[in-house]
Amino acid sequence: LPQYEKVEKIGEGTYGVVYKAKDRYTNETIALKKIRLEQEDEGVPSTAIREISLLKEMQHRNIVRLQDVVHNEKCIYLVFEYLDLDLKKHMDSSADFKNHHIVKSFLYQILRGIAYCHSHRVLHRDLKPQNLLIDRRTNSLKLADFGLARAFGIPVRTFTHEVVTLWYRAPEILLGARQYSTPVDVWSVGCIFAEMVNQKPLFPGDSEIDELFKIFRSFSYKSYMWSCFKLFHAS
């Protein structure tokens, strides 16, 4: 990569490795997401194709900016604006969240970003504190990691239910629904909001069954089972 110089590795996930890097031409600090290409017969991972195509279409102050895409025979690099903090790290290390103005500001920015996604018929499907990046100079917040995102249409399409980190997963997905829409993102936002206020996860289940049990305990069991009954009979 002649234009970009890696500085350090800052993250790693199922779909790639993220580096802090520097643009040799502009001296700008950027984030490089390295995605290994699959075996020759499989080509570019579908998660990378989705993330690139969706982020090229979406330009918003609360969505991380994709600046460039660079590829060679072995891998693809996505070049993003650099933000050195995520909401999870911020909650773990800062007393800011005792200030309700900060919580309200972050919640508003999350909702504004996800409203933009939904208005462009995009489900994020993996909202969690680790995927919400913060500019600590301005306290601006941006949605990131669109590798599991999907475009949706009317009527609602059939999707996989294996999405969203467990603690932020909507009950209809936990119950195996394959037809769902924007409410799955709104549920995740609600869980994140509660975590900012309480400084602990709302439903920290260690399995899908445990996650559902924690949700059932928090709501009226009768009304919740009735909504589940209606969900299954509607599908």
Give 101-123 pLDDT, tens digit per residue.
999 999 999 999 999 999 999 99
**Percent of the chain at pLDDT above 70?**
85
List residues with catalytic annotation.
Answer: 126
pLDDT of residue 123: 94
What value does the mean pLDDT of the chain take?
87
Nearest partner of 33 among 25, 45, 43, judged by Cα: 45
Q: Is the pLDDT of residue 222 over 80?
A: no
Cα(104)–Cα(95) distance, integer angstroms = 15
Cα(60)–Cα(233) distance, integer angstroms = 38
Nearest partner of 78 among 101, 53, 60, judged by Cα: 53
Q: Where are the alpha helices (DSSP H) in the chain?
A: 46-57, 87-93, 100-119, 171-174, 183-198, 208-218, 221-234
pLDDT of residue 47: 79
pLDDT of residue 225: 56
Give 26-50 pLDDT, tens digit per residue.
999 999 999 877 665 667 787 788 8
Domains within the chain, CATH numbers bracketed: 4-81 (3.30.200.20), 85-234 (1.10.510.10)
Give 122-179 pLDDT, tens digit per residue.
999 999 999 999 999 999 999 999 888 888 765 555 555 555 689 999 999 999 888 8
What is the pTM assigned to this prediction?
0.85
